[in-house]
């Protein structure tokens, strides 16, 4: 799995994780987030005949957390992914926590399986 795009401020304020298997759906996501950006973010180039994309929108986050996305288990029909938010270490004292609405876009080799997500909160 490779991180291909990440931004801290988008207009999606709830947690969401989904699999994108075609260019039209990926463009649709970028049209949505680019409504509040000038200039808009470029749509990453993905070869959907070889790869699929996993989109993770974290919703409102306070402080600086990074998602760790990993495979929990895999069967013949399904891949279970787990998403854990991990605090990012900062140097010095931080008294102000920024609020952001980040998203992460990963690509991985194309599989013909259902992909499910579980979120672990600490």
| pTM, rounded to two decimals | 0.83
Note whether 20 and 55 are within 8 A (CB): yes
3-class DSSP state of 108: strand
Average pLDDT on 106-116 reads: 94
Tokens for 10, please give them.
């988008």
6 has a pLDDT exceeding 80: yes
Average pLDDT, the chain: 87
| N-to-C CA span, the chain | 24
**Burial class of residue 18 in the structure, from the number of CB atoms within 10 Å of its CB (0-12 exposed, 13-18 middle, 19+ buried):** middle
Tens of pLDDT along 22-47?
Answer: 999 999 999 988 988 788 899 999 99
**Which residue bears the tokens 């795009």?**
5
CB atoms within 10 A of CB 20: 19
Return d(Cα 11, Cα 51) in angstroms, integer. 26
């Amino acid at each position: 799995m490779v991180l291909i795009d990440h931004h801290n401020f988008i207009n999606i304020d709830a947690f969401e994780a989904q699999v994108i298997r075609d260019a039209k759906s990926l463009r649709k996501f970028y049209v949505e987030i680019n409504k509040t950006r000038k200039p808009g973010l470029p749509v990453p180039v993905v070869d959907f005949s070889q790869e699929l994309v996993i989109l993770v929108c974290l919703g409102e986050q306070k402080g600086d957390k990074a998602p760790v996305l990993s495979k929990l288990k895999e069967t013949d029909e399904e891949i279970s992914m787990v998403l854990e938010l991990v605090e990012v270490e900062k140097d010095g004292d931080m008294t102000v926590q920024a609020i952001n609405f980040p998203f992460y876009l990963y690509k991985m080799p194309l599989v013909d399986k259902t992909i499910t997500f579980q979120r672990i909160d600490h």
